[in-house]
Structure 1
Amino acid sequence: MASKRVFISATDTEAGKTWVTASAIRALLKEGNRAIALKPVACGLDDHGRNEDIDALLAAQGLTDPDQISLYRYALPAAPSQAAAAEGATIDADKLVEWCESQSADVDTCLIEGVGGLMVPITDSWLVSGWVEAMPDAEIWLVVGCKLGAINQTLLTLEKLKQMGRTPSRIFFNATKAEQNDWLNPTLRSVKPFLNKHCEVHTLKFTEEVALGS
């Protein structure tokens, strides 16, 4: 049976993709699933060459080697196209897609955390949306960082997915700070009429874990 692949995107940067991905992989592994969570592209390294998102996903899986879950890592905290260019490099789109496929070959479920939102440039001519389109079998999870402006960002993202012929199977209305808890329900109420009726909705208060259900 082919591995189930899930691409986790967001409405914006700092929306909580890593929190959702780490929480989800912990839940899957606890249930006995053969699963892996990847952060194929990461931008922003500390003085020791570490990335906090990668470290969070490694810890959630009991792993230690970044190469196990990440292919491209750059020091500059910027869009991948800019972060790579700052080091005289470029990301190979075909290699990225093939790597994701190979990493998911021996597991039942592969969570693939994207970078930023759908319109973030991976290269000068290839966006995150192109990465998603290159994996037509992947389920889409969308993380919404609930704050001022989130409704607009979410509806724009849903419209882009619609243009791509895709729709999220799960949407996470997430508070990354305690003061964002008050934005959860207003954002949900405004967005819900535009969701596919089969989309599973989660609301996550600050520090709450993901409960995946069946």
Structure 2
Amino acid sequence: MSVVIVSGTGTEIGKTVVTSAVAAAAVAAGRSVAVLKPAQTGVGAGEPGDAAEAVRLAGASVTATELARYPEPLAPDTAARRSGLPTLAPEEIAEATRRLSLDHDLVLVEGAGGLLVRFDEAGHTLADAARLLDAPTLVVAQAGLGTLNSTTLTAEALRARGLGALGVVIGSWPADPDLAARCNLADLTRSSGLPLLGAVPAGAGGLAAERFRAEAPSWLDPSLSGTWSEESFLADWAPPVFGTALI
């Protein structure tokens, strides 16, 4: 597995922190890592973007690459049109990823928002880049109410396009989860058909970088170079009896 697409089920759910954690765990396992952010929106010139944040958290050995930047916090296609800047085609994303994969063991391609957010006037999305790369997608989901629907829709969109999915990582697991979040731990797998591969604690992005790197493997499944156990996590957090799934 040399390329992984990282897509969220929405915005502001911890996608960059999960990308950083996967990068940190891979580096700790002795792998060379690159993080590619095809389209960075909502960040001005000279300001650090998501790829730079991944380097800050995961370590200076991580290579950060950004292909396009748009100042307004909008979908890439909309942000490009409003700013008068060129849009980004999936072929450009695929080519940049292939170049990085030549000298990195793992390339993480972090999307903007969800899987089907438009990148250009033709309606191309991150899913189109994933198809060109024949790369699996890691889905980052929220913990609480509403996540069953959005995660299952993302999983169905991947299957409908013949795209592979690694599984789901919860982007921000609360310190004091409510009943919906706790029930969703098991229901996410039943609803989406995807395995649960980790849970990143809420606020992890605010940790000191050294602590983030040390703890990142404990948030992720061994398939992501981590030590996290779904069985142990559910034993700690899932309710002892499940009733009707919360949506």
Name which of 85, 105, 108 aligns with 1:89.
Answer: 85
- Whether the aligned pair in 2 keeps the contact of 1:144 and 1:174 (CA below 8 Å) is yes
Identity %: 27
> CA contact under 8 A between 1:84 and 1:90: conserved in structure 2?
yes
Structure 1 length-normalised TM: 0.84
1:45-194 aligned at under 5 Å gives the runs 45-46=43-44, 49-59=46-56, 60-62=58-60, 68-93=64-89, 94-125=91-122, 126-136=124-134, 138-175=135-172, 178=175, 181-182=177-178, 183-194=180-191
TM-score, normalising length: structure 2: 0.74
Distance 1:155 1:92 in 2: 27
SS at match of 2:95: helix
CA contact (8 A) 1:27 1:212 kept: no
Deviation at 1:196, TM superposition (A): 4.2
Contact 2:130 2:136 in 1 (8 A): no
| Runs of at least 5 residues in structure 1 that lack an aligned partner in the other structure | none
Amino acid at match of 1:40: P
Aligned to 1:202: 198
Greater CA radius of gyration, 1 or 2? 2
Instruction: Tell whether 2:34 aligns with 1:36.
Output: yes
Q: Distance in 2 between matches of 1:38 and 1:61?
A: 15
Name the structure, 1 or 2, with higher relative contact order (CA <8 Å, separation 6+).
1
Mark the runs of 5 or more structure 2 residues left unpaired by the alignment: 205-215, 224-247
Distance 1:211 1:155 in 2: 21
For the aligned residue pairs, the C-alpha RMSD in angstroms reads 2.4
| Contact kept in structure 1, 2:7 and 2:110, CA below 8 Å | yes
Larger relative helix fraction: 2
Preserved CA contact (<8 Å) 2:80 2:86: yes
